[in-house]
Structure 1
Amino acid sequence: MYQVAIVGTGAIAAAHAEALRAHPDRVRVVAAVDVDRDRAEAFAKQWSIPAAVTALAEVDEYDLVHICTPPGSHVELSEQALAAGATVVVEKPLATSLAAVDRLLAAEAESNGSVAVISQHRFGSGAERLRNIITSETFGRPLIATCHTQWYRDAAYFAVPWRGSFEIEGGGPTMGHGIHQMDLLLAMLGEWQEVTALAARTSRDTGTEDVSMAMIRFNSGVLASVVNSVVSPREVSHLRFDFEHATVDLEHLYGYTDDDFTVTAAPGHEDQVAAAWAEGPHGRPSSHTAQVTAVLDALDNKTVPPVSLREARTTLELVAAIYRSAFTGRPVPRGDITPADPFAHRMDGPGAPWA
C-alpha cells in the first residue's frame, strides 16, 4: 500500500483526496501538509487523514506526494519529494518557467522517483476514443482545430495574493486556465512546429494578460487557433477537430463526459463515422480519479506514471512560445527558446508590455 502526503490543502486538493479515496486498498493518505496549520488540520479532519503538518519535511514516511500548492512552489516541493525517492503527482501549471522544468528534469534523473503532471482531460474515454480514431485515420486526416478556454474571473478571484502574477502564478489564462485544453490539443495532434500569438490586458487589474490568441502550425500540417480568456461571461471550454470525413466537437467547462462530444459526418460518410465513433471505450469522464488510477497502475507495473515530466514540458514550451510571440510580435518556432532566452526563465521574458 502506497503512503501518500497531500501538500497544499486549497480547493484543488479535494479533487486529489477524492481520487485517492477511490483506491482504499492501494493507498493510505498519511498527512495533510499546508503552511497554514489551521487549514491543514481542517482538511485532515474532513478527509480522515491522521496527521496535519506545515512542511513536507515533517512527514516521516511516504511513497507518493500530491502537490496542490500555487505554481511557484511546485518545483522546489517536487525536488524535495524526489530526493526522498518518492513519486510526485503535481498540479498544472507544472512550473512557472521552462528553466525550472529543466531543473526538475535533472532532479528526476538522479532520483528513484518520478514526476507525473496532472492532465486529467487526457484520461476520459471520449479523448481516448478520439486519439484512437486519429491514429487509425478512420475519419481521414485532421486538417484544422480550434481550442477555446473562455472563462470568467472577477476582481474577487484576483484578490488572492498569488493570482495574476508572473512571479508566482507564472502567467494569466494562457498559463493557468487554458493550459488544460491546450494540453489535450497537443495530446491529440502531436508535435507543434510554430506559433504566432497576441496577448492583452483588456479589463482585469492584474500583472498578467487576461486574453490571449494564438495560431499554431503542427508538424503534421494541421493548423489550430487557440483563445484563452478570463473575461468571458458565457463560460466554455471548447475543442473542435475538423477531419477529412467528420467534425468532432467537445464542449464542456471544467470536465467532460461522453455526452459532451458531438460528431458530425461529412456527406457520404455517415455510416462509416457513426460506426467508428461507437467503437472503443465509453463511460469514463475526465477526472483526477481517472489519471490517479493510471498513475497507480504504472507504479504497480514499475513503469513511468503518466503524464511524464518531459511530455508536460512540451505543453509548457507552447505556453512560453505564445508569450514570447505575443510580447515580441514575431512567430516562434519550436525549440527556439534556448536556456539563454529571457522567456526560458520567466513567461513574460524581460517584462510584459504593460509592466
Structure 2
Amino acid sequence: MFDRKHRIAIVGTGGIAGSHARAVQSLPDRAELVAAVDVDLGRAKEFAARWDIPATYPDLTALLAAEEVDLVHLCTPPSSHVPLAVECLAADVDVYLEKPPTLSLDELDILLAAERKSAAQVACVFQHRFGSGAVRLRELLVDGVLGRPLVALCNTAWYRDDEYFAVPWRGTFDVEGGGPTMGHGIHQYDLLLSILGPWRKVTAFAARQARPTQTEDVSMALVTFENGAVASIVNSLVSPRQTSQLRFDCEHATVELEHLYGYKNPDWTITPAPGHDEVATAWSTDLPDVASGHSAQLAAILDAKSAGTPAPVALAEARNTIELAAAIYASAFTDKPIHRGELAPGTPYAHRMGGPGAPWSQLGRKGTGAPWS
C-alpha cells in the first residue's frame, strides 16, 4: 500500500520526455503528471495533450509559483541542468535529472553545494542500474558467489549520422558537455561502475573519426579499480551495427549483457567457470523480471521518497561517473594517465570536459587544416 500519489512535472518536452511520461504513467497508483513545461509553449501543449497532462507553463519559475509538485523531471539540454536544478532545490523540490547531469565536474560540485542547503535532493538518470539483471549481479558479487571480479569490457558502439549533429547543441563541449563519452556511453559505464565500484586510474584515447563535431566521435579507455579489477571502455558513434555490451569475467563465472538502449533478463548470459555450476542456479533462482529503464529507476525514487531515504543515484554517487568522464577526456587530450581525485576544482578538465580544447580543434576533416563550424 503506497502512502499517496506523488505530483510530478516534466520540464523540457523534447524526445526523451516521452520516456519520462511513460515511466510516470506506468506507476498510476504512485505518481501523476500534473504539468509540462517548455520554453516553446506550443510544444508543451502538444506534449500535454498527448500524455493527458492538465497544465502547461513556459518556464520552471512559473511552474513552481503555480503548482505544488513533489518531483521535477528535468529533460532539457545539458547546459540548462544546473540552473534549473538549483532553482528546484531552492524551492525544496526534488529533481530527477537527465544525463549527463552536468557539463563538468565543477558543475556537479556546484549542485552538491546547493543540495546541502536544501531539504530536497537530486537523483540522476542512470536507469541501467535498476534492471533485475544488474541488481542480481551486484547481489552475487556482494555474497561472494561469483568470486572476485577480474576483467570487464564495456562497449557502446552506436551510429549517429551527420544529420543527427545538425541540432545546434549536439557535438559541443559547451552545451552538450562532450561526445559519446558524455552523451551516449555514459549509461553503460555508469552500470560498469555500479558493479565494480570506485575506479583508481584511467588511460584513454579519443578521436574525431568522421562526424562534423567539436567533440570526439570515438573514445577508448583502460581503467583500473580499487578492488583490483581492470576494464576497457569503448564509446563510438560511427558503428553501423549498433550494440551495447558489458562483460564481467569473475573468478567463478563470466556474466555478459548485450542490448541496445535497454535490457531485459534474456539479454544476460552467464557462463560458469569449471567446477562452479552452482553459479548458474544462483543467478536464475527467483530472478525478478524487471527491465532497465526510467520506470524501474522512478519506482526506486518513489520508494526512497516514501521511506525518507537518500535518492537512488544521488549526486554524490553520480560524481564517481562524472569524474571518470572528465578523466577520460583529460587522459586522452594530455596523453597521460589520470588518477581519481587528481582533477582538482577549477583545473581545466574539472572546469570543462574538453579542457582548453580538443587536439583537433584547429583542424578540419582528416587534418586538412580547414576548421569545421
TM-score by length of 1: 0.98
> Quick check: 1:150–1:228 contact (8 Å CA) kept in 2?
yes
Corresponding residue number in structure 2 for 1:143: 150
Alignment of 1:334 with 2:336, yes or no, is no
Task: Identify the range of structure 1 (23-32 vs 151-160) with the bigger mean alpha-carbon deviation.
Answer: 23-32
2:29 is the alignment partner of 1:48: no
Q: Does 1:219 align with 2:226?
A: yes
CA distance in 2 between counterparts of 1:166 and 1:331 reads 21
Distance 1:179 1:241 in 2: 17
Moved more, 48-57 or 206-215: 48-57
* Residue 2 (structure 1) shift: 2.2
Query: Is 1:12 matched up with 2:19?
Result: no
Contact conserved, 2:106 with 2:346, CA < 8 A, in 1?
Answer: no
CA contact (8 A) 1:128 1:281 kept: no
Q: Give 1:346's aligned residue.
A: 352
Amino acid at match of 1:167: D
Unmatched segments (≥5 aa) in structure 2 = 362-373
- Write the distance in 1 (CA, Å) between the matches of 2:241 and 2:252: 30
Q: Structure 1 residue 3: deviation in Å?
A: 2.0
Secondary structure of the corresponding residue to residue 216 of structure 1: strand
1:302-326 Cα shifts (integer Å, max 9, x gaps): 1111111111111000000000000
Q: Match for 2:213: what amino acid? A: T
Q: State the distance in 2 between where 1:338 and 1:311 align.
A: 18
Tell me the CA shift for residue 280 of structure 1.
Answer: 5.0
CA distance in 1, matches of 2:19, 2:116: 29
Give the SS at the match of 1:250.
strand
- Residue 190 of structure 2 corresponds to which residue in structure 1? 183
Paired position in structure 2 for 1:247: 254
Partner of 1:287: 293
What is the root-mean-square deviation in Å for CA atoms of aligned residues?
Answer: 0.9
Q: 1:259 offset after TM fit, Å?
A: 0.2
Partner of 2:365: none
Aligned residues of 2:149 and 2:229 also touching (Cα < 8 A): yes
2:316 paired residue number: 310
Aligned residues: 354
- The answer as to whether partners of 1:246 and 1:266 remain within 8 angstroms in 2 is yes
Matches within 5 A, 1:193-212: 193-212=200-219
Aligned equivalents of 1:87, 1:329: Cα separation in 2:
40
**1:24 pairs with 24, 28, 40, which one?**
28
Q: Deviations over 1:103-137 (max 9, x none)?
A: 10011011111000011100000001100111112
Aligned partners of 1:139 and 1:77: how far apart in 2?
Answer: 42
Aligned residue in 1 for 2:126: 119
Q: Give the aligned residue type for 1:302.
A: G
- Which amino acid counterpart does residue 288 of structure 2 have in structure 1? H
Structure-2 separation of matches of 1:108 and 1:262: 39
Q: AA paired with 1:273? A: V
Distance, in Å, in 2 between the alignment partners of 1:77 and 1:247 is: 42
Q: Tell me the CA shift for residue 204 of structure 1.
A: 0.4
Please give the alpha-carbon distance, in whole angstroms, between the structure 2 residues aligned to 1:149 and 1:296.
29
CA distance, structure 1, for counterparts of residue 279 and residue 30 of structure 2: 40
Q: Determine if contact 1:71/1:93 at 8 Å carries over to the other structure.
A: yes
Write the distance in 1 (CA, Å) between the matches of 2:327 and 2:85. Answer: 24
Give the counterpart letter for 2:82 in structure 1. Answer: V
**Deviation digits for residues 44-66 of structure 1, max 9, x if unmatched?**
00011111221011111222100
**Percent of aligned pairs with the same residue?**
58
Moved over 6 A (4+): none
Superposition TM-score, scaled by structure 2 size: 0.93
Instruction: Report the alpha carbon displacement of residue 25 of structure 1 after superposing the two structures with TM.
Output: 2.8
Counterparts of residues 85-96 of structure 1 (less than 5 Å):
85-96=92-103
The 5 Å alignment of 1:72-111 reads 72-111=79-118
The answer as to 2:266 corresponding to 1:263 is no
User: Per-residue displacement from partner, 1:262-313 (whole Å, max 9, x unpaired)?
Assistant: 111122222x122211235321110100100111111111111111111111
| Residue pair 1:129, 1:280 contacting (<8 A) in 2 also | no
> Separation in 2 of the partners of 1:281 and 1:169?
37
C-alpha separation in 1, matches of 2:329 and 2:285: 39
